[in-house]
Structures are given as structure tokens and as C-alpha cells.
Structure 1
């Protein structure tokens, strides 16, 4: 793990982590997940109260997801209105995204919080631009992020002093899941193009 990030975390702890969590929810890779695992390990060592850190991390990731949703809702539409050619191209896709989210939005929001969390910022963007209902979005963000927070803090707490050993496994598993999802999306669009021809 990056030594600089760990040093900042030791000095500024939850405030530094909260900024990284908010940026991660927007879609900027920050390594905050690894710091959440480290927080669990530090709680095991007695440096943090596990329940307080759980609530703090949970609140910050939920707030980050809502901020991401709102940014895409307002900035996405302003950008499309400014570029008319882009709007003509994107608008049908927004309608499809809206239809998809109406059918499967609850599951998409919920599972991309913890199971395939790398896709979370993309769902935030799609939900914001497509105008997915904010109360539904928030309720499934809250549930999914609670699982995510418990899972990663729990891993750090469970492994305690040897928490760094599991980071490689978690990183590789996340990468494999993202590659599988990307492959499925590419195959889907390839088949769709072939059917049109």
C-alpha cells in the first residue's frame, strides 16, 4: 500500500478517509477501500472504536453516492443541453437507461454498492442522468453501503495484524469481477450489432 496515503491516514484518520471515500463514490480511484480495511485492523488494535468508525464510514459513502447522483443529474443535463449533437446521440440511451432502472434499478443500485462496487460510480451516473427516483436510490444505497462497510471493516478487524495479506486477494477479485462484467457488456453489444446486420 502506498506509504504516503497510510501516513496521512494515521495523522488525519477519519477526515482523510472521508475525503477519499467521497472522491471514490464520484468515480475517482483513491484506494479508500484499502483504508477501510486498515481502519478495521486499527480498530482491532484498539486505535479506533469499531462501531463509531463503522457509522462514520457508512455515512460518508452514502453521502458520496448521493453527491455523485446529484452531480450527474444537474451537470449531465447542462452538458447535454450545451452540446446539441451530443444530446441527439445520447438522449435515446438515456431513455433506455431510464427504462432499465425502472425495471432493475433497485437491484442494480444495491448490488453495485458491495458485490461489484467498482460499477457503483457508473450506476450513480446513469441514475442521475436518467432521473431515477431519488428516494429509491437513497434507500438501496443505504442498505448496500451498510453491507459494504461491514464487509470491509470486518475483514480488517477479523484479520487484525495480518490485514495487509488479504489486500492482494481483494484487489485481484475486484479486478476479475470488473473484467467479467466488461466482457459481458462487450459480448452483448457485439451480438446486438450482429443481429442488426
Structure 2
């Protein structure tokens, strides 16, 4: 499937890049990072234009973020996690916890450093009614980093795209796990402090 997807990139060009980043920001299983790497590689070989690839990836990602935020804002109850499968509900819960503790910084970091949490931060940000200007500024800055890293690496390492994608995918999953563990640790510490305070008052 990976090779078939890569073969579509030079055929559909920037439209495919924009669609991939847009859909991935809505929690759909689209390998947008791989698509950006491939598009960067094809741009390096002259089949695509680098700035057009970067602009398409950035535009699709920002549009996806905005739609995800609005979906979360409109369907706050749905995105409370009750009607989602367990895995998705857990990711959403961790995204909400991260947002409550870090706000706009969580939006920025979840665009590129903890990207598996990104779509869920979009939904949670809307459901929590994070101010849209704050969400947008942080999201735009984070997406700029994400696009620059993946399109740039694709252009720089055009001959080793699959190996590079495997390395980056593993690193991204590890960072997401670290983020979830960190959020749980912060929640546990806050809960313990609250319990101690309650015990002291009693």
C-alpha cells in the first residue's frame, strides 16, 4: 500500500498533499507525513515544485485544524469521549488534560512534536472553547514547523524516503506515548495534592 500511495503523489500532486494533511487533522487514518516526505522528494527531483508542495500541505493542515476545532465546539458532548471507541476516547481524554494544563502550547506541540494527539487536541480545544485566536495562532505556528520538517526532509533525503518514514513514525509514536505518560503523571500529582488538602482540612 505504501508504494501505491507514493506512486499517486506525482500524479495528483499538490491536491493530494493538501487532502492528506486536511484529513489527517480530522483523525482519519491518512499517512500525511509520508505523503509530505514523498512530495518533498518528488520536488527535489523536479516532478513537483517545492514551495507549492509546502503551501498545499500547510493550507490543508490549517483548514483541517479549523474544521476539527469547529466540530469539537459544535459537538462538545460527543467529544466528551463517551460515544467513542476506547482507544479514541483515551486519546481525547489525554488531549483534554494536556490542553487544560498547557493551553496554546499544547496546540503548538501537538502539531509536530506529539502529532498523533493533534486531531484530538483540535476536537478538545473546540469542546473546551479555547479562544479561537489563541488556537489559530498556535496551530498555524505548529503546522508551519510540521510542514517544514517533513517536506524539507523529503527533499533532502529523496533517495531514502521509506527508511526515513519508518524512523520518523517510530519517533512520533514514542513522543506521543511520552506525552500521554506525562499528562497522566501531572494528573496523578494534582489528584494526590487535592486529596492531601482534603485530609488536612478534615
Q: TM-score range by the shorter chain?
A: 0.7 to 0.9
Paired position in structure 2 for 1:168? 166
Paired position in structure 1 for 2:7? 7
**Separation in structure 2 between the aligned mates of residue 190 and residue 107 of structure 1, nearest angstrom:** 21
Counterpart secondary structure, 2:139: helix
Please, which runs of 5 or more residues in structure 1 have no aligned partner?
Answer: 84-93
Pairing of 1:139-158 with structure 2 (within 5 A): 139-158=137-156
**Separation in structure 2 between the aligned mates of residue 128 and residue 4 of structure 1, nearest angstrom:** 35
TM-score by length of 2: 0.78
Higher relative contact order (CA 8 A, sep 6+): 1
**Separation in structure 1 between the aligned mates of residue 26 and residue 146 of structure 2, nearest angstrom:** 16
Paired position in structure 1 for 2:25? 25
**Separation in structure 2 between the aligned mates of residue 146 and residue 61 of structure 1, nearest angstrom:** 9
Paired position in structure 2 for 1:68? 68
Please, which runs of 5 or more residues in structure 2 have no aligned partner?
Answer: 83-92, 197-202
TM-score by length of 1: 0.80
Counterpart secondary structure, 2:47: coil
**Separation in structure 1 between the aligned mates of residue 191 and residue 133 of structure 2, nearest angstrom:** 36
Counterpart secondary structure, 2:130: coil
TM-align CA RMSD: 2.7
